Amino acid sequence: MTSASKSLAATPPMGWNSWNQFGWNVNEAVVRETADAMISSGLKDCGYEYVVIDDCWSKKDGRDSNGYLVPDPDKFPNGIKALADYVHNLGLKIGIYSDAADLTCGSYPGSYGFEEQDAQMWASWGIDFLKYDYCNAPEDQASAIERYSRMGEALRKTGREFLFSLCEWGGRSPHLWGREVGGHMWRVSGDVFDSWVNIWVADHTYYGIGIDVSLDLAAELAEYGGPGGWNDLDMLIVGLKGKGLVSGGGLSFVEYQTHMSMWCMACSPLMIGCDVRAMEKETAALLMNPEVLAVNQDALGEPVRRVKQMDRCEIWKKPLADSSVAVALVNRGASGSDVTVKASDIGLLDAPKLVRNLWAQEDIADFKVELTRRVQPHETLLLKVDKH
Ligand code: GLA
């Protein structure tokens, strides 16, 4: 077994992934233009670094006669190596996808039995990140550990630094063994859809996870994430607005803001899922608020804790490196509510404290014992409380 290298994923990985918006239509032009847009929009300057090609990049009908995966020549006419060079020249990193079985989720060739050959090939292309899925693989935990270890070891043997992203959807408790197999992040759920509540997908074949439900998973598993290995709440749905592959009708602005706030509080990787070549102003504001991102990227990597549940309103807190505390007041209910946070709820003394609204980037109050704020349905107030 391998262990994750320390400097890699010291804070939650940030980037973009092709799946949510483009699905099987990912191609070279999309990836190049996305990389360009990450520079021109300012996303790179905010810390978004990885450009990840998800499923459906290789030829679907199988490997070549030497057992190599072949990039689909219609989608990637110049191959992946040229694309990797292009992305690297922009100062970004590139990721790819495979699966721990014969076939991926989209029924493209997987890597089981070819781990070393594939890892060596990706290393020769200059790949920096592997998302490794688990469709068509055995259900049990021991098999998952074995299959992820094989790939973790194969990546390590290449001598190239790979960020290893495990995607078995949480069913086999990857938070308990993800680090040991060389993983830097592990999904904790099935696919998150562009929906507030869970929805049935593809003729009731499986559940698409809604943002509301993800919050409970984030609370439950928080303590297992930290520098080098993170709970992955799944790619962001910010900006999809009902488009793309994981459409669940879309969220309201306030709901997208809750999603982003809580992914940041929970130290989830932030992998953008929308088309960043055509970002609306509102989407850019949600993805690029430096004070909100700083909560996610805080050097301590301390787990978030849900400290209070009052009917459908909740208070969450996360200690930050500068000894302030990030606090989220979340209203998961259907009507507006006054939420009171007490100094004792967030582990602070009854002394004056300065409260900053991170989305608005403004100081809003000085409080000693408690603070009350109106929180609208599905809204989150994201605060930073500084001890004076
Ligand atoms: C699974 C994963 C998704 C995506 C698709 C690709 O459903 O959970 O994130 O990678 O496969 O087919």
pLDDT tens, residue by residue, 103-155:
999 999 999 999 999 999 999 999 999 999 999 999 999 999 999 999 999 99
Confirm if 18 and 76 have CB atoms less than 8 A apart. no
Please report, for the domain that includes residue 313, its CATH number.
2.60.40.1180
Kindly state whether residues 124 and 264 are assigned to the same domain: yes
Mutation pick for ligand 1 pocket among 16, 24, 105, 189 (CB with most ligand atoms within 8 Å): 105
- For residue 283, give the CATH number of its domain: 3.20.20.70
Q: Do 283 and 334 have their domain in common?
A: no
Q: How confident is the model at residue 249 (pLDDT cuts 50, 70, 90)?
A: confident
Question: Residue 24 has what pLDDT?
Answer: 95
In a domain, 1, yes or no: no
Residues 6+ apart with CB under 8 A from 95: 15, 17, 50, 51, 52, 53, 127, 128, 129, 130, 131, 163, 165
Phi, psi for residue 19 in degrees, rounded to 5 = -65, -55
Helices 79-89 and 115-125 cross at an angle (nearest 10°) of 50
Asked whether residue 379 is assigned to any structural domain, the reply reads: yes
Q: Rounded to the nearest 5°, which phi and psi values hold at 384?
A: -125, 125
Distances (CA, A) of 118 to 41, 142, 379: 33, 23, 44
For residues 112 and 203, state if they share a domain.
Answer: yes
Q: Which one is predicted more confidently, 247 or 189?
A: 189
Q: At what angle do helices 141-158 and 115-125 cross, to 10 degrees?
A: 40
Q: What distance in Å separates the CA atoms of residue 196 and residue 356, rounded to the nearest whole number? A: 27
pLDDT digits (tens, 9 = 90+) for 156-198: 999 999 999 999 999 999 999 999 999 999 999 999 999 999 9
What residue's CA is closest to ligand 1, atom 8?
Answer: 191
**Nearest CA among 294, 388, 284, 290 for reference residue 343:** 388
Q: What is the pLDDT of residues 299-319, one digit of tens each?
A: 999 999 999 999 999 999 999
User: What does the pLDDT look like over 71-115, one tens digit per residue?
Assistant: 999 999 999 999 999 999 999 999 999 999 999 999 999 999 999
114 alpha carbon to ligand 1 midpoint, in Å?
A: 20
Q: How confident is the model at residue 350 (pLDDT cuts 50, 70, 90)?
A: confident
Of 150, 146, 114, 148, the closest CA to residue 133 belongs to 148
Q: Is residue 9 part of a domain?
A: no
Pair (179, 310) in one structural domain: no
pLDDT of residue 149: 99
54 closest CA partner among 124, 108, 121: 108
Ligand 1 centroid, distance to 167 Cα (angstroms): 8
For residue 6, pLDDT beyond 60: no
In a domain, residue 125? The reply is yes
Ligand 1 centroid–CA 206 distance in Å is: 13
Residue nearest to ligand 1 atom 9, measured at CA: 191
Residue 388 pLDDT > 70? no
CA of 9 to the centre of ligand 1 (A): 21
Residue from 54, 72, 191, 194 carrying the catalytic annotation: 191
Q: Which of 252, 269, 296 is the last residue of a domain?
A: 296
| Whether residue 280 sits in one domain with residue 232 | yes
Band of residue 1 on the pLDDT scale cut at 50, 70, 90: very low
Instruction: Say yes or no: 230 and 319 in one domain.
Output: no
Q: Do 256 and 371 share a domain, yes or no?
A: no
Say which of 72, 118, 133, 194 is annotated catalytic: 133
Q: Is residue 56 part of a domain?
A: yes
Torsion of CA 116, 121, 126, 127, to 10 degrees: -60
- Does residue 142 lie in a domain region? yes
Tell which one of 16, 19, 186, 233 to mutate to probe ligand 1, the residue whose CB is within 8 A of the most ligand atoms. Answer: 19
Which residue lies with its CA nearest to atom 6 of ligand 1? 55
H or E element, residue 285: helix 281-287
> Ligand 1 — pocket residues by CB below 6 A?
19, 54-55, 104-106, 133, 167, 191
Residue 248 has pLDDT above 90, yes or no: no
Domain count, the chain: 2
Cβ-based neighbours of 216, under 8 Å, separated by 6 or more = none
- Ligand 1 center to 315 CA (angstroms): 32
Sign of CA dihedral 46, 49, 54, 57: positive
Q: How far is the CA of 54 from the centre of ligand 1 (A)?
A: 8
In a shared domain, residues 291 and 316: no
Structure tokens at 354: 């300065």
Residue finishing a domain among 266, 296, 326 = 296
Instruction: Identify whether residues 173 and 115 lie together within a single domain.
Output: yes
Q: Are residues 113 and 156 in the same domain?
A: yes
Burial letters 210-225, b for 16+ CB under 10 A, else e: bbbbbbebbbebbebb
Q: By alpha-carbon position, which residue is closest to atom 5 of ligand 1?
A: 105
3/177 Cα distance (integer angstroms):
10
Please give the structure tokens belonging to residue 202. 């593809």
- What are the residues whose beta carbons fall under 8 Å from the beta carbon of 203, sequence distance 6 or more? none
Burial of 25 (0-12, 13-18, 19+ CB in 10 A): exposed
Residue range(s) defining the domain that contains residue 105: 14-296
Question: Which of 21, 186, 191 most suits a substitution to test ligand 1, by most atoms within 8 Å of the C-beta?
Answer: 191
Q: Please report which confidence band the pLDDT of residue 202 belongs to, taking 50, 70 and 90 as the band edges.
A: confident
Active site (annotated) includes residue 191: yes
Longest dimension (CA), the chain: 71
Residues paired with 365 in a beta bridge: 355
Atom of ligand 1 nearest to the CA of 54: 10
Residues 241 and 270 in one domain: yes
**Residue 268 in domain:** yes
Residue 266 lies in a domain: yes
Domain closes at, from 242, 269, 296: 296
Tell me: do 292 and 310 sit in the same domain. Answer: no
